[in-house]
């Protein structure tokens, strides 16, 4: 995004606290990467909101035998909800960008979400709840790249997360003690 001329701010939602939790580790990693590339990093404390809107409903749904998908709710409520509102109202941003593997195109009917170049990492199914207004203010810089290409760019840039293990689990459920 910097190479394309965007003014970039790093913004991370602090969603949960605990040793080894991906949200804590991810926030620290985001701050490190921002420092490496000369970008200001801001963290927004959303722990109470996240528990109320994502964790508690997940537990309630699971306890009655449903199969909840908290990541979709988190996308619409947290990432493209609270964080986007904060970015626009408090930081003066005009767009948000995420690391989701997806693409956008404008059609005569509005914005359409398209599958990413990397079919193995495609995340369009996680974005079904996003509105046209939200999509018009979103950038998906990884949509035309594969995961291997992203890793190569990160390694060439010497980023601390270049070899970071992938997480595909629910972020607030861990089999690690801590």
How many whole angstroms separate alpha carbon 123 and alpha carbon 126?
Answer: 6
Nearest of 146, 90, 96 to residue 118 by alpha carbon? 146
Q: Which residues are catalytic?
A: 74, 171
Distance linking the first and last C-alpha atoms of the chain: 36
Could you tell me how far CA 51 lies from the centroid of its own chain?
A: 17
Confirm if 41 and 31 have CB atoms less than 8 A apart: yes
Whole-Å CA distances, 156 to 131, 151, 161: 36, 9, 12
Which segments of 9-168 does DSSP mark as H helices, in order? 22-37, 47-50, 56-63, 70-74, 84-89, 132-135, 147-156
CB atoms within 10 A of CB 144: 12
């Amino acid at each position: 995004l910097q190479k394309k001329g965007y003014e970039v701010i790093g913004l991370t939602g602090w969603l949960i606290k605990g040793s080894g939790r991906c949200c804590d580790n991810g926030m620290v990693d985001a701050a490190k990467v921002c420092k490496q590339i000369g970008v200001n990093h801001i963290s927004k404390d959303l722990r109470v909101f996240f528990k109320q809107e994502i964790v508690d409903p997940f537990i309630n749904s699971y306890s009655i035998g449903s199969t909840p998908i908290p990541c979709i709710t988190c996308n619409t409520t947290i990432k493209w909800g609270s964080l986007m509102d904060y970015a626009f109202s408090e930081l003066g941003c005009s767009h948000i960008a995420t690391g989701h593997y997806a693409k956008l195109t404008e059609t005569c009917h509005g914005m359409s979400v398209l599958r990413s170049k990397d079919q193995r990492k495609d995340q369009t199914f996680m974005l079904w709840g996003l509105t046209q207004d939200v999509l018009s203010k979103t950038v998906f810089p990884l949509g035309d790249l594969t995961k291997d290409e992203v890793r190569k760019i990160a390694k060439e840039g010497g980023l601390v997360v270049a070899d970071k293990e992938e997480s595909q689990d629910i972020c607030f459920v861990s089999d690690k003690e801590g």
